[in-house]
Amino acid sequence: MEHGLTGIGDAGAFLARVVRLDRAAPVRLRSAGARTALWARLPWEVLVTREVDGPGPGDVTVAAADLLSILSDKETALPAPRDADWRWPLPPAAVKVVETVATAELSRLASAAAGTLREVTGGGLGRAVGQRVVRDALLDHVALVVTPADGPPVEVPQRLVQAISRMGFLGPADVDSPETRVCVAGRWVGLSAPYGVAWLQRVNKLTVMPISTHPNG
């Protein structure tokens, strides 16, 4: 089977970021016509996705590092399927945009939080207590609250802001990028940035259970 991706540059950029954050991460490919959505889960419980050109292989999960290597070598074969490695549901297809936020403001929020983490964890706290606890507290911090006209307030935690920043979804800092949309889909909240989307399931943690197929999403 071939991977069926033609947007090699976009796919490679996505995979390189994923592998940099988690070398063992799986990536799920989901085809829809002439486009394929790449999905991955970051180490801080956020799902990220980017659509690229190409009809793709259907719906299959492979190792992100393996697919990146194949694309770098300009090969067309799909790596060995690893569907059992994908253990998380996907947000529903019905998405509602509740607000737009300047991409530059999100970049500022991401940079400020990253700087705070470096400052605090470099201040002599023990590694186990300092880095992990401070990191989790920063990621759980509500970076934005938007209040739509026809619904309850939507909280956007730093986890989502860091996801779109670390994945490069906000684009180059010196380029005037389109605004980022705050979205909801069922119990999910998302940030739809110029180059990709990050999703976090609200209230309940992402379910983790072994599966052999893709019943979720």
- Sheet with 26-32, strands from edge to edge, namely 59-63, 26-32, 35-41, 47-53, 196-201, 188-193, 180-185, 96-101
Q: What is the pLDDT of residue 203?
A: 62
Instruction: Indicate yes or no: pTM above 0.75.
Output: yes
* The pair of three-digit structure tokens given for residue 190, joined into one six-digit string: 């998302």
- pLDDT at residue number 54: 97
DSSP string, 77-131: BPPPP-GGG-------S--EEEEEE-HHHHHHHHHHHHHHHHHHHTTT--IIIII
* Residues with Cβ within 8 Å of residue 136, at least 6 apart in sequence: none
pLDDT in tens, 85-96: 999 999 999 999
Q: Where are the domains of the chain?
A: 8-85, 96-201
What are residue 27's phi and psi, to 5 degrees? Answer: -130, 135
Tell which phi-psi region holds residue 63, choosing left (phi > 0), alpha (psi between -120 and 50) or beta: beta
pLDDT tens digits, 152-173: 899 999 999 999 999 999 988 7
The 10s digit of each residue's pLDDT in 136-151 is 888 888 989 998 888 8
Residue whose C-alpha is closest to residue 11's, from 34, 31, 37: 37
Residues 8-85: name the CATH superfamily. DNA Polymerase III, subunit A, domain 2 (3.10.150.10)
